[in-house]
Structure 1
Amino acid sequence: MSSAAREKTLVLMRHAKAEEGLGKSDHDRDLNKRGRRDATAAGEWLKENGLVPDLVICSTSHRTRQTWEAACHGGANTEFVEYRRSVYLGGAEQVLETVREDAGQMATVLVVGHNPTMAQLTSLLTDGAGSREAHDALGDGFATSGLAVMRYDGDWADLDLGTCELTRFHVSRG
């Protein structure tokens, strides 16, 4: 198999800004107005940059589901969305395992999840490799509606720590 056939893109996205948790469980928190605007802007950015995921793996929480829905209103799209409790409940290792198991032969996978997991997983997967500008931007924090775009050359089942390069980091604001 040629290198080009193995090259993949992984996008880790933190959910958009959510309402405070007053009277609701954490899982049931919704996006606030700013969050809906920012998530829509994230969808516009994904579309403008030609980042079309073959698969979206989304946490089961309300705010992550709403983030992806709003991103789609902004122009993002995919054919397949899987909702995984492991992305809501798990840490970096569980999300990594979910990607390994679910991504199959997909070329581009986007995960909509939570912090600190998204920041930790980005750091662990890239181990400083890739764009210095992207790492500097990520160093300012993995803000809500943040998107870490990584290049990976291999089979998803073999995705491991230090195997990706961070190519871009973007925080969407609408």
Structure 2
Amino acid sequence: MSVAEPRRIVLFRHAKADWPQVSDHERPLAERGRKDAPVAGRKLADTHIPFDLALCSTANRTRETWKLAVHELPHRPKTVYEERIYEASPGELIAVLNETPDDVRNVILIGHNPGVQGVTEVLSGAAEGDAGERMGRRGFPTAAFAVLTFDGSWKALEPGTATLSDYWAPSE
């Protein structure tokens, strides 16, 4: 990897979940979530980011979201299902990202709010174009994602070191 090439993180919130009588961890996607996840996958493909690694929460709704979205990508990255992403704070998510091997350039993390939005805000020291304004208007609804870029090693990723370069959310 060239020093001039920035690393990219995509923070992807799971699609809309249902509320059946199961534990929170086992909640499945709602019908709308099953429709939005492939749309988000196509939008992820439009970013032309060749993901090297996917870090996905072990919750049912995140696994379902990823399985529906990844089919839309031209290349399927290695996927690691990580228990620590479920109910993680921004600091805990940064700690997970800090463990990424340095030969990995582009990571997608599939998780939950408020952690996904929080870590996006904490890591973003700047924003390109209107990405920050769009995220500020929309918040971080289900199936939304943010693209962050940064330079340096994964161990050096900390608050304010990344740039919010893109943001997408499904229309409601």
Partner of 2:140: 142
Alignment of 1:20-169 (within 5 A): 20=19, 22-75=20-73, 77-127=75-125, 129-139=126-136, 140-169=138-167
Q: Per-residue CA shift, 1:65-106, capped at 9, x if unaligned?
A: 000000023336433101111100321111110111134321
Q: Which runs of 4+ in 1 moved over 2 A?
A: 73-79
Residue identity matched to 1:134:
A
Cα offset for 1:52? 2.6
Determine which structure has the larger helix proportion and give its number. Answer: 1
Cα distance change, pair 172–77 in 1 and its aligned pair in 2 (3 A): farther
Cα distance change, pair 150–137 in 1 and its aligned pair in 2 (3 A): same
Residue identity matched to 2:167:
F
Partner of 1:10: 9
Structure 1 Cα separation of the partners of residues 134 and 9 of structure 2: 18
How many residues are paired up? 171
Cα distance change, pair 138–54 in 1 and its aligned pair in 2 (3 A): same
TM-score normalized by the length of structure 2: 0.93
Paired residues of 2:9 and 2:108 also in contact (CA < 8 A): yes
Secondary structure, in 3 states, of the residue corresponding to 1:89?
coil
Cα offset for 1:173? 5.1
Paired residues of 1:145 and 1:173 also in contact (CA < 8 A): no
Structure 2 Cα separation of the partners of residues 26 and 47 of structure 1: 29
Structure 1 Cα separation of the partners of residues 171 and 41 of structure 2: 11
Q: Which structure 2 segments of 5+ residues have no match?
A: none
Q: Per-residue CA shift, 1:33-74, capped at 9, x if unaligned?
A: 110111101111111221231000000000000000000233
**In terms of mean alpha carbon deviation, does 162-171 or 94-103 score higher?**
94-103
Secondary structure, in 3 states, of the residue corresponding to 1:56?
strand
TM-score normalized by the length of structure 1: 0.92
Task: Note the aligned Cα RMSD (angstroms).
Answer: 1.7
